């Protein structure tokens, strides 16, 4: 067992990769620590019964894209991409939640919060642009923006008691999810199977809808509980995107 002090950018996935263990084993070794409430300087225990998995060394002034560290190694470029993807999806669900709150309780910040939420689509497009180019990055940004705009319209209709409008927006939402799955499969067919991505997106929609319904109906205990599920699933999505990019472009990592 290793005693480890958390550093900036650390998360349980990257630590599991570094020490050749699993997130579940780290969580089991730290029963008093919330896996989604880590902080820099926190001391945790990491099971180290298995062989340590090193990170490729990084030398200032040299590109990590060309640093090879051998089989079983996780490069700094891989860790950086995974951390960035996780930040993007954490922001995605956090700002979505804030929009739900602002719409439900008619807060004066709603337009500003929606504007910030839509910035997430731009940021996601920029992340894809680095690997797939300008056109694909812009298309992905547009699809994610539609996903977020429709979500806001759905919450507005539901909060207003407009069931017909809510049903219409929900159908648009699922159609958009299918379009996203089709798009991702076309740009990375080997690693993002259409059916799997579509189910992943639909699960995200189901959880988010439940979150909105619980908030609107003032079932706050269920609302908080479902957000934990949303966060877990969002991080799984981030990891799926990370792994797909790494496998498609191994020479960049």
Q: What is the mean pLDDT of residues 87-114?
A: 97
Q: What is the mean pLDDT of residues 237-242?
A: 94
- pLDDT value of position 208: 98
- In words, the CATH class of domain 2-54 is alpha beta
Which phi and psi (to 5°) does residue 44 adopt? -130, 165
pLDDT digits (tens, 9 = 90+) for 103-123: 999 999 999 999 999 999 999
Mean pLDDT, the chain, rounded, equals 88
| Beta-carbon-side half-sphere exposure of residue 18 (alpha carbons within 13 Å) | 16
Residue found by looking up tokens 């005693």 in the block: 3
pLDDT digits (tens, 9 = 90+) for 133-147: 999 999 999 999 999
Whether 245 has a pLDDT exceeding 50, the answer reads yes
Exposed, middle or buried by CB within 10 Å (0-12, 13-18, 19+), for 166? Answer: buried
Q: What is the mean pLDDT of residues 17-22?
A: 82
Exposed, middle or buried by CB within 10 Å (0-12, 13-18, 19+), for 165? Answer: middle
- pLDDT, greater one: 219 or 44: 219
- pLDDT value of position 153: 98
Would you state the structure tokens that stand for residue 167, as one six-digit string? 């049903």
Domain spans in the chain, listed from the N-terminal domain onward: 2-54, 76-252
Q: What is the mean pLDDT of residues 98-105?
A: 98
Q: How far apart are CA 239 and CA 193, in angstroms?
A: 15
């Amino acid at each position: 067992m290793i005693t480890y002090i958390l550093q900036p950018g650390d998360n349980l996935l990257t630590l599991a990769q570094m020490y050749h263990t699993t997130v579940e084993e780290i969580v089991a070794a730290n029963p008093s620590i919330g896996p989604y409430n880590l902080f820099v300087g926190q001391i945790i225990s990491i099971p180290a019964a298995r062989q340590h998995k090193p990170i490729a060394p990084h030398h200032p002034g040299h590109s990590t894209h060309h640093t090879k560290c051998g089989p079983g190694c996780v490069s700094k470029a891989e860790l950086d991409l995974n951390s960035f993807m996780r930040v993007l999806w954490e922001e995605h669900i956090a700002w979505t939640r804030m929009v739900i709150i602002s719409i439900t309780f008619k807060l004066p910040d709603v337009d500003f919060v929606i504007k910030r939420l839509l910035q997430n689509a731009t940021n996601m497009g920029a992340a894809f642009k680095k690997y797939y180019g300008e056109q694909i990055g812009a298309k992905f940004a547009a699809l994610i923006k539609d996903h977020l705009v429709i979500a806001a319209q759905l919450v507005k209709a539901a909060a207003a008691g407009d069931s017909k409008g809510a049903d219409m927006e929900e159908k648009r939402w699922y159609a958009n999810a299918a379009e996203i799955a089709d798009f991702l499969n076309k740009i990375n067919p080997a690693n993002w199977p259409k059916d799997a991505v579509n189910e992943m997106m639909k699960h995200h929609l189901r959880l988010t809808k439940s979150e909105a319904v619980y908030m609107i109906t003032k079932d706050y205990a269920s609302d908080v509980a479902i957000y934990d599920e949303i966060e877990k699933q969002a991080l799984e999505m981030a990891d799926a995107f990370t792994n797909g990019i790494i496998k498609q472009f191994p020479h960049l990592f």
